Amino acid sequence: MITLPRRNLLLGTGALALSTLLPARLLAEIDTSDLSDITQGIAPISTAEREARIERARQLMRDHQIDAILIEPGASMVYFTGVEWWRSERLTAALLFQKGDAVIVTPFFEEPSVHQTLGIPAQIRVWQEDEDPIALIAGALKERGLAHGTVGIEETVRFFASDGLGKLAPGLRVVSANPVVRGCRMIKTPAEIALMTKATEITIAAYRWVWPRIREGMAPRDISALMNAATVKLGGKPEFALVLLGEAAAYPHGSHQPQRVREGEVVLMDCGCTVQGYQSDISRTFVPGKATPEVRRVWETVHEGQQVAFRKARIGLQAGEIDDAVRAFYEKQGFGPRYRLPGLSHRTGHGIGLDGHEPVNLVHNEATLLATGMCFSNEPGLYLPGRFGVRLEDCFHMTDSGPAWFSTPPISLEQPV
């Protein structure tokens, strides 16, 4: 095991001294003995809460005249049923009904495993390898008197499932399940917000541990390895640890060009983890050594852009108006207009919860009204192609009195966490 050397401070500025080179081969073993799990005592989603979700879904089905909804494995299945599964050519699916218990359809040999995470009352119906699982779904609907009913299809269900159901039950009316699924998942409960808060605490703690250990010559994979190791030791499940160095920071999701940490050049990190499935998403941009006046100006502009978005958020506002406010501010600073570069080439933010990106987005023309319990990223980055980019990202949730941060934005370029 190795212990990475602590940084030296340059004239008390908090910038990174880059005299210590750390070969990538030494990162094969990372000493995280000074970190410990901070998730003790965290409560998972309870049976009572999951049952409340089902009741909310039933009410929304009544409101929108939908008799049942079809869901495949993924975040929505976890949300409603607790079943943690994956998608393959062998269909596992859930039917939630306006009346009566849910039905889970799964291969015969998978039933014991699927049952282990099932968190609601449900019938599990199995199919053999030479049988059609969609026929079981159609049969369950017929048994409930819904052969000519209305079925909502969750938006990520694959075509073969929805198309096959339509062919086996031609009397069905097939519609989008968005009014039900989004109507439930967009509004987070205190229990969900508590899990997202803990995921955020882990990511911030990992940043705080990694930042002093970054050295000149490191490649993105070296820094990602540190971030992931810290996240695991702190009790989180790493989801992503994107590291963009120098010019690569000008391209929001990176570059295939070789990158190394160099004094005076931008380091952009975009990292997140999950706790009980709920996600964090935090970006930080800093400069080892002394930043140029231009980098500093852009960083401070992005820092203010975050505050513009945060101040604009209020209950009842159309989500797209937050994006509009940020772009109006940036245009006054000489960026844009709209998505033109140099400027902000992506939306101001996205919804977040069990999925890292989920509806709705903080983007122009999004008319969904902000409501208590909605959660968003706030990441109005600025990108200068061929030179560098700056992104600061912190998430917030809406309360009755306005937005509340999950993580507090950095106070300065020299103090990213």
Q: What CATH number should be reported for the domain holding residue 85?
A: 3.40.350.10
Structure tokens at 242: 């994107």
Same-domain status, 328 and 366: yes
- Report pLDDT digits (tens) over 46-69: 999 999 999 999 999 999 999 999
- What does the block give as tokens for 192? 């969900």
**Same domain (yes/no): 89, 170:** yes
Separation of alpha carbons 255 and 221, rounded Å: 13
Whether 216 and 355 share a structural domain: yes
For residue 189, pLDDT beyond 60: yes
pLDDT tens digits for 209-219?
A: 999 999 999 99
- Is the residue at 39 inside a domain? no
237 & 341 share domain: yes
Q: Of 152, 185, 218, at which residue does a domain stop? A: 185
Residue 262 is part of a domain; what is its CATH number?
Answer: 3.90.230.10
Q: Average pLDDT for residues 190-215, to the nearest whole number? A: 98
**pLDDT band, residue 21 (cuts 50/70/90):** very low
* Residue-number span of the structural domain to which 143 is assigned: 47-185
78 in a structural domain:
yes
Termini Cα distance of the chain: 27
pLDDT of residue 13: 30
Q: Which residues of 244-254 are buried (b: 16+ CB within 10 A; e: fewer)?
A: bbbbbbbbbeb
Give 346's pLDDT tier (boundaries 50, 70, 90): very high
Checking if the pLDDT of 25 tops 60, the result is no
Question: Nearest Cα to 326, choosing from 311, 347, 308, 340?
Answer: 308
Question: Looking at residue 29, what is its pLDDT?
Answer: 82
Whether 275 and 393 share a structural domain = yes
Least confident among 25-29, 32-36, 92-96, 199-203: 25-29
| Separation between Cα atoms, residue 398 and residue 196, nearest integer Å | 13
In a domain? residue 211: yes
Q: Does residue 377 share a domain with residue 246?
A: yes
* In-domain check, residue 171: yes
The pLDDT confidence band at residue 7, using thresholds 50, 70 and 90, is: very low
Q: Which of 163, 185, 207 is the last residue of a domain?
A: 185
Instruction: Give the residue from 185, 220, 252 where a domain finishes.
Output: 185
Q: Is the pLDDT of residue 11 over 90?
A: no
Q: Residue 92: which residues within 8 A CB-CB, separation 6 or more?
A: 72, 73, 83, 85, 104, 105, 106, 107, 110, 114
> Does pLDDT of 315 surpass 90?
yes
* 96 and 178 inside one domain: yes
Residue 303 domain flag = yes
Question: Which tens digits make up the pLDDT trace of 137-177?
Answer: 999 999 999 999 999 999 999 999 999 999 999 999 999 99
Do 399 and 267 share a structural domain? yes
pLDDT for res 112 = 97
| Res. 327: pLDDT tops 60 | yes
pTM of full prediction above 0.85: yes
Q: Are 295 and 370 in contact (CB under 8 A)?
A: no
* Distance separating alpha carbons of residues 255 and 243, to the nearest angstrom: 10
pLDDT, mean over the chain? 93
**pLDDT for the residue numbered 225:** 97
Q: How many domains does the chain have?
A: 2
